[in-house]
Chains A and B, each alone.
Chain A
Amino acid sequence: MHNLILKAKELLENKIVSVIIGFETGSSGKVRPVFITDSNKADSLIFDERCIQNLAVYLTKKEVKQFGKMGIVATLPIMRSIMVLISEQQLSPENVVVLGISGDGEVLDFADITVMQHYIEKCELGNPAKEQDMLATLNRLNMQEKFEFWQKEFSKCIKCYACRQSCPMCYCTRCAVECNQPQWIPVQSNNLGNMEWHILRAMHLAGRCISCGECGRACPVGIPCHLLTMHLVDQAQSYFGVYAGISDKMSSVLSTYAPNDKESFII
């Protein structure tokens, strides 16, 4: 933690960055994101096992970008989000400094994006173990059971779109649900519309999700909607052999193709 603070102070003092996006301790012992622009306040930065939020979501927010160049405390999912954002031209590599945090909490020094890319390549990129188990359990259900499981979950949905707001990859200024010509997704919350929304969201993240699980954590009613996108992470890997967010130059799975893509259901 000490190294992190020193590094953040150095970046701010030398005016390399104008803001550091990181974690601090909030009220009643919870961690919360913090945006530090004054090096004297960098002492509040923390990093521990509670710091799991995907902070990359702030990199595309106008309110944060206005500070200028951004430094960000980044675990692996955040680093991978940064890669996706750069490849989708939402973030310029010149506009971000990554304060990497390794799996065992060490501060990593990334001279540039290429160095970060080499680090990512060496990491385990699949879904987290806990989610793997949950996916396996769900995959064992039959069609009707799966349908009922998700119907029960979606019946809780209040269409607050916290799943969307928390996701760094959902950076659109106008989301498809806000489109009313035609009205693809009904405005009100009902089972059909809720399900359509979650399908739409998962398809839009197909081949772009980096398995941070933030959408599921953000959901106020506890819908495990991160399993939908994580399921597609597995599929993208098994069909096309790729994980998202491993390079700043890659195309997403659905914006590219290989002539020999294999499937077994098209007759």
Chain B
Amino acid sequence: MARIGVFICHCGENISATVDCGRVAETIGKLKHVAYSTEYKYMCSDPGQTLIKDAIKEYKLTGIVVSACSPRMHEPTFRKAAAEAGLNPYLCEMANLREHCSWVHEKNDMTTEKAIDIVRILVEKVKINNALLPIKVPVTKTALVIGGGIAGIQSALDIANTGHKVILVERSPSIGGHMSQLSETFPTLDCSQCILTPRMVEVAQHPNITLYTYSEVESLDGFIGNFTVKIRKKARSIDEKDCTGCGLCTTKCPQKKIPNEFEEGMGFRPAIYTPFPQAVPNKPVIDREHCTYYIKGKCKVCEIVCPTKAIRFDQPDQILEIQIGAIVIATGFDIKRTDFFPEYGFGKYKDVIDGLQFERLASASGPTGGAILRPSDGVVPKNIVFVACAGSRDPAKGIAYCSKICCMYTAKHAMLYKHKVHEGKAHVFYMDIRSAGKNYDEFVRRAIEEDYVNYIRGRVSTIYECDGKLIVKGVDTLLGAQPLEIVADMVVLATAGVANSGAEELAQKLHVSYDSHKFFAEAHPKLKPVETNTAGIFLAGACQNPKDIPDSVSQASGAAVKVAALFSQNELTREPLVAFVNRCSPPLYSTCVGCFLCQSVCPYQAIEREEFKNRDGKTIKTVAKINEGLCQGCGTCVALCRSKSIDLHGYTNNQMYTEVMALLNVY
């Protein structure tokens, strides 16, 4: 015989202001099987929880309904309280009287009636709830970090330093990411390579880190603590063990005119190359798309000159299958290129460049050795225009968000220019200056006040070429929206930061959600900024939204702590709200007939086959079986199953049916 306890919370006045809680408690108290019904100002408070615990013991309750706020808010709180009083936590249900009733309706009888109905539904449900035991699953204490930029590097190092194994996967031939391309960093103007390369070397040498560069995630199966990842290790076409990284092959390669990605197209590289001198690992790859041997079938100069005979033209891609327990996504971002802007010439003017290209121009290791020279003719620009918010905060261009880093790097660019070209003039067109951050605004003020950078508040409408000069037409909104025209030698667009290529595809492989801009989505914008909605998968850096280095590094360390916390336990406890296939005595074994249509609806490959054999070992029946470790409890199989052989703990057919019945029929 069920003995149900009902606890109506006033939530201060949040509920009681519109719902007559006394009447609800009284009406519910008269229902069959309700052994105790009461009201209290704050059920979630310590005295409130004590009240519940005492009632469970005193009235020997077999189930409780806490009628308060949304179960999404306090279900864990009250289930824990129930457990502490010796009641199975899954015999506690919550009726949502606040978000779904008192806050959305006026104070009147109908609102109180609705509150009664909501509670009644859950009283009927909880009567047929089953006590459930949590599921324990083992944890594989190896983490996968996807992306070898500063965020991935930081996460990998932090996890590795807690003593756990890390697999770091990077799709390009070297780790380092965009940070390795930068000249100096704001707000300190220290050299990017100088602070990054020691970290890169640390990754390469760390005993707990296994680095796979020139590799990509092929697929992911499994669930938190128990993922299986397949990694495609693309053929480098060299034997990494034999290669010493001497670089002779790269100097002898006859194919030398391939646009250099690392230099943002402003220099050239051979077909066998290391992306940059400090690359980790410092081993070249053959770019098969451009290599003469792969195109024409002959050349092999690299093979001839290689002192250690490390070239392997026939090396295949390798697929590695690795067991891991947690994942950090740190795949970074990309920027819009100049060809995204019709008004600025679709990228056809050589001297209109983007921010990353300017970084390379300003970098001592860049194509000009650090001299600011126009790409078109190599002349020092005397007049340079920086355009902030190129594409960002522009709903018409489909990018409504602020790219966050551009204000700061534009100030930095203007300063670097002024430090190198003392007589030059630097102009910055901006919408607003967003320089929140430690020492950030001071940095921008320095650019304006000490380096005399001309900041113009207004947007640039068009740029066109005229007599070898770039005519920048804009407006100065602080001078009464006066049209303005600057004759510039070079223009730098602070183009919008966007999701990295392949982000959407990766998100689908990993079953994590992403937003409309293809940035990975966090589980909660404020309280779970590091988690994704998929348990065991975390985010770090600009793959979530454009971020600067300190933010990326902080988040990376945050993600590492989440992984370390997960790895601090040997077993994970999972909610037992999973599907199950019924079993009965032979010769039926189960009402499941084994059509296995459920297998194809399951997003988690959680449905397995179970064979029943007779004494001779002959299979007499094959039925479906749920892998509790994999099942996430969506219940799609339950609604599909024609013979009603699958059911879902916590949301059983009987419970859902009862709820509908209770809702519509007053008993």
Contact = CB atoms under 8 A, between A and B. Distances in A.
Touch between chains A and B, by CB atoms below 8 Å? yes
Contacts of A182: 653-654, 657-658
Contacts, number: 51
Contacts of B657: 182, 184
B588 A173 contact: yes
Interface in B569-601: 588, 591, 593-598, 600-601
A175 B643 contact: yes
A254 B640 contact: yes
Contacts of B588: 173-174
B653 A255 contact: no
B653 A88 contact: no
Contacts of B622: 89
A181 B647 CA distance: 11
Contacts of A173: 588, 591, 593, 643
Interface string A165-186: 0000001111110010110100
B643 to A, nearest CB: 4
B593 A90 contact: yes
A83 to B, nearest CB: 14
A78 B597 CA distance: 21
Contact of B640 (A171, A174, A175, A255): A255
B644 A88 contact: no
Given A181-B653, A181-B654, A90 B644 contact: no
A171 B643 CA distance: 10
A252 interface: yes
Contacts of A144: none
A17 B428 CA distance: 86
B644 A255 contact: no
Interface string A138-177: 0000000000000000000000000000000001111110
Contact of A174 (B591, B654, B658): B591
A33 to B, nearest CB: 23
A88 B599 CA distance: 11
B524 interface: no
Interface residues of B, number: 20
A60 to B, nearest CB: 9
B613 interface: no
Given A174-B591, A184-B644, A252 B653 contact: no
B178 interface: no
A217 interface: no
A171 B642 CA distance: 10
A260 B258 CA distance: 40
A252 B601 CA distance: 10
Looking at B597, B598, B640, the one whose CB has the most chain A CB atoms below 10 A away is: B597
Contact of B644 (A171, A179, A251, A252): A179
A256 B600 CA distance: 6
Interface in B642-664: 642-645, 653-654, 657-658
A255 B593 contact: no
A251 B600 contact: yes
A182 B125 CA distance: 13
A184 B644 CA distance: 10
B384 to A, nearest CB: 47
A89 B594 contact: yes
A7 interface: no
A173 B595 CA distance: 11
Contacts of A252: 597
Contacts of B642: 172, 176, 204
Contacts of B595: 88-90
Contacts of A181: 653-654
A204 to B, nearest CB: 5
Interface in A49-92: 88-90
Contacts of B601: 255-256
A255 B654 contact: no
A88 B597 CA distance: 7
Interface in B288-316: none
A2 B76 CA distance: 74
A172 B588 CA distance: 12
A185 to B, nearest CB: 11
Interface in A196-221: 204
A171 B592 CA distance: 11
A201 to B, nearest CB: 10
A228 to B, nearest CB: 16
Contact of A172 (B593, B600, B658): B593
Contacts of A251: 597, 600
Interface of B: 588, 591, 593-598, 600-601, 622, 640, 642-645, 653-654, 657-658
20 contacts: A88-B595, A88-B596, A89-B594, A89-B595, A89-B622, A172-B642, A173-B591, A173-B593, A173-B643, A174-B643, A174-B645, A175-B643, A179-B643, A179-B644, A181-B653, A182-B653, A252-B597, A254-B597, A255-B640, A256-B601
Given A88-B595, A184-B657, A255-B600, 15 more contacts: A88-B596, A88-B597, A89-B594, A171-B593, A172-B643, A173-B643, A174-B588, A179-B644, A182-B654, A182-B658, A251-B600, A252-B597, A255-B597, A255-B598, A256-B600
Interface of A: 88-90, 171-176, 179, 181-182, 184, 204, 251-252, 254-256
Pairs of residues from A and B, 3 with the lowest C-beta to C-beta distance, nearest first: A182-B657, A255-B597, A174-B591
